């Protein structure tokens, strides 16, 4: 177990030194500034729009982090053959993967905490500017939404590790991760759409329905972690739902990382 | 001289660049002005394409409708907004509230503008009904619906149902139930009004309010009894009685009840039982 920790630390440091991190933070700061401008135009539910924008910003910049910083951490090692240097040391491939992944998780958590603080600051300022429109707002739901964003990004990052262990270039990993993200977020909507054809006025073939239903079990359902709407309106979520969703995220991530380790252990390097 | 060539070329191209920029910009501006109404993607599709940013898409669509409406304020033609533009705005707001059914602003906007200005009251109420279902803590949306039914569509019975719904919700002003009951009574929905008052009585602790409610309940129960007696009369004689005294004369009721507010019960032109006090204290 010992070698995992140094790998995690190195991965984290490598990630945080990446210039892209600064770009992502600047982008999110700009978006949070835009929050003030947009909220000026809203008539009544300023609180809702402010929370929408704040949480979407955190989620979006986290996505950029996973896609452009996270993938490089693992895939570039393979791309640039620096992995030989690591594997030549007394460290098993499983330790390498787990260490890298934990470093990446730490990066996601730290960046989310920073972005979350910025987002909370913008919501807090708008809250003190328009207190009358924040009656249903609850900080607890806001923080829970941030935690769920971390869970969802961790899951996505695990998937990017799996793709990196299969493919040979980081570009293919990026494409596959983006596609998984798109599928993961639209899956339950698509499933609802094909399973209720009459209401939507479409008539999907039985094959389509089966394909969607199969995909539903294979791909991660990222929309489970999307509780921005509840946070924005201060709607309460049941405690079992929170626990089960967390469990779902952790279990799916664990399965993916186990698979990654198994595939990576058998992989032959040219 | 040769070193100056790039400079000369740039200087020669600069006017062309500026002209093309301003020309394209003016074309673009004209296009934007015409754009106004265009196709709105169905919300099922929007839900899929907006990924995890449903709420943001909802905000965007609402702002689109809002800024379009704001842009028409300096128009000189009458009517200021064409029918198809109103329909487009309705589609946009409908999609926005499909993406985030809890978002108050689109409902608020629709209620303010679709009713008075566009006279699309049915559409406004369809939207408001969606909001009322989602925002179950908000008494304002059913209240708006009730008002629209009463004022624009002249459907008192339905209006009273909505107002009763509004009165049940937290923080609803106390006058809401009074309004609801009076509308229900006028709309010949005696039974609903009785049930509603009974429900309200369960929740009311204030003595004065309770007394008012109890008196109103008593009147409504009398009205209901009289209406039922009229139905018995109709069954027996095949027509409605001309007045309540006939019911007494034929032995269907023992006596005509007294209105605690001091009015008198009578049969209205539409065949419903009403009282001259109209459920208010008659001052003589």
Per-residue pLDDT reduced to its tens digit, B96-153: 999 999 999 999 889 888 887 788 899 999 999 999 999 998 888 998 898 888 878 8
Per the DSSP assignment, residues forming a β-bridge with B266 are: B274
At A21, phi and psi to the nearest 5? -60, -45
Cβ atoms < 10 Å from Cβ of B202: 7
Closest CA to B130 of B167, B84, B94: B94
Q: B183 near B156, Cβ under 8 Å?
A: yes
pLDDT at A142 over 90: yes
Q: Is residue B195 part of a domain?
A: no
Residue A212 vs residues A32, A72, B42, B53, B198: alpha-carbon distances, Å = 36, 31, 20, 22, 51
CB pairs under 8 A between A and B: 66
Q: B80 near B68, Cβ under 8 Å?
A: no
pLDDT at A148 over 50: yes
A151 band by pLDDT with thresholds 50, 70 and 90: very high
What pLDDT score does A168 carry?
78
- How many domains, chain A? 1
Provide the domain limits for residue B277.
204-284
Which residue in this structure is represented by tokens 């300022």? A125
Which residue in this structure is represented by tokens 């979407």? A56
Q: CB of B233 within 8 Å of any CB in chain A?
A: no
Q: CB of B56 within 8 Å of any CB in chain A?
A: yes
What pLDDT score does B112 carry?
82
A40 band by pLDDT with thresholds 50, 70 and 90: confident
Q: Is residue B118 part of a domain?
A: no
Q: Is residue B110 part of a domain?
A: no
Listed by number, the residues of chain A in 95-134 with a beta carbon closer than 8 Å to a beta carbon of chain B are none
- pTM of the predicted model as reported, rounded to 2 decimal places: 0.76
- Nearest-Cα residue of chain A relative to residue B138: A136
Q: Is residue B266 part of a domain?
A: yes
The proportion of chain A whose per-residue pLDDT surpasses 90, expressed as a percent, equals 40
Q: CB of A38 within 8 Å of any CB in chain B?
A: yes
| A53 neighbourhood in chain B, CB within 8 Å | 56, 59
Residue A198 vs residues A193, A194, A201: alpha-carbon distances, Å = 9, 9, 5
pLDDT at A199 over 60: no
Q: Is residue B283 part of a domain?
A: yes
Provide the domain limits for residue A226.
4-266
Q: B142 near B163, Cβ under 8 Å?
A: yes
Q: Is residue B260 part of a domain?
A: yes
pLDDT at B284 over 50: no
B127 or B241: which carries more pLDDT confidence?
B127
- How many domains, chain B? 1
**Binary contact (A43, B56; C-beta < 8 A):** no
3-state secondary structure of B265: strand
What pLDDT score does B152 carry?
82
**Binary contact (A44, B104; C-beta < 8 A):** yes
pLDDT at B175 over 80: no
Per the DSSP assignment, residues forming a β-bridge with B267 are: B273
Measured between alpha carbons, how far is B114 from B121 in angstroms, rounded to an integer? 6
- Average pLDDT, stretch A47-59? 92
Measured between alpha carbons, how far is A72 from A15 in angstroms, rounded to an integer? 9
């Amino acid at each position: 177990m010992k070698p995992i920790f140094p790998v995690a630390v190195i991965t984290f440091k490598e990630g945080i030194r990446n210039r892209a991190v600064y770009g992502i933070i600047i982008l999110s700061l700009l978006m949070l500034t835009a929050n003030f401008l947009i909220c000026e135009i809203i008539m009544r539910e300023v609180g809702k729009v402010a929370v929408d924008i704040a949480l979407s910003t955190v989620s979006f910049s986290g996505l950029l982090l996973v896609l452009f910083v996270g993938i490089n951490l693992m895939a570039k090692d393979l791309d640039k053959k620096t992995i030989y240097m690591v594997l030549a040391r007394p460290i098993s491939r499983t330790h390498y993967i787990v260490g890298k992944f934990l470093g990446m998780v730490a990066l996601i958590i730290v960046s989310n905490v920073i972005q979350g603080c910025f987002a909370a600051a913008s919501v807090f300022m708008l809250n003190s500017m328009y207190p009358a429109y924040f009656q249903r707002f609850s900080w607890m739901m806001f923080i829970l939404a941030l935690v769920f964003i971390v869970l969802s990004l961790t899951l996505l990052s695990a998937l990017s590790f799996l793709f990196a262990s299969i493919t040979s270039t980081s570009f293919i990993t990026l494409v596959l991760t983006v596609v998984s993200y798109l599928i993961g977020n639209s899956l339950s909507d698509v499933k609802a759409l094909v399973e209720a054809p009459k209401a939507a006025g479409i008539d999907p073939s039985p094959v389509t329905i089966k394909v969607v239903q199969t995909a539903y079990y294979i791909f991660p359902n990222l929309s489970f972690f999307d509780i921005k709407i509840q946070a924005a309106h201060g709607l309460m979520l049941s405690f079992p739902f929170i626990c089960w969703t967390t469990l779902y995220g952790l279990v799916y991530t664990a399965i993916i990382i186990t698979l990654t380790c198994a595939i990576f252990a058998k992989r032959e390097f040219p | 001289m040769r070193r100056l060539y790039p400079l000369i070329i740039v200087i020669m191209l600069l006017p062309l660049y500026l002209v093309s920029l301003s020309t394209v910009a003016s074309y673009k501006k004209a296009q934007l002005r015409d754009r106004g109404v265009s196709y709105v993607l169905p919300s099922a599709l929007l839900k899929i394409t907006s990924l995890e940013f449903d709420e943001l898409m909802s905000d965007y669509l609402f702002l689109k409708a809002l800024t379009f409406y704001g842009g028409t304020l300096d128009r000189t033609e009458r009517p200021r907004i064409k029918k198809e533009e109103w329909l487009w705005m309705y589609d946009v707001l409908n999609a926005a509230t499909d993406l985030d059914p809890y978002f108050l602003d689109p409902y608020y906007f629709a209620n303010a503008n679709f009713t008075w200005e566009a006279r699309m009251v049915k559409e406004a109420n369809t939207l408001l009904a969606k909001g009322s279902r989602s925002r179950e803590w908000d008494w304002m949306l059913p209240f708006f619906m009730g008002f629209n039914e009463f004022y624009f569509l002249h459907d008192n019975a339905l209006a009273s149902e909505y107002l009763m719904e509004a009165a049940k919700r937290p923080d609803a002003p106390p006058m809401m139930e009074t309004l609801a009951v009076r509308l229900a009574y006028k709309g010949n929905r005696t039974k609903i009004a009785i049930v509603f008052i009974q429900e309200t009585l369960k929740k009311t602790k204030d003595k004065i309010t309770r007394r008012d409610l109890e008196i109103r309940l008593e009147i409504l129960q009398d009205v209901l009894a009289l209406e039922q007696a009229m139905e018995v009369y109709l069954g027996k004689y095949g027509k409605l009685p001309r007045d309540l005294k006939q019911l007494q004369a034929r032995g269907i009721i023992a006596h005509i009840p007294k209105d605690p507010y001091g009015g008198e019960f009578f049969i209205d032109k539409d065949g419903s039982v009403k009282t001259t006090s109209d459920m208010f204290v008659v001052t003589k």
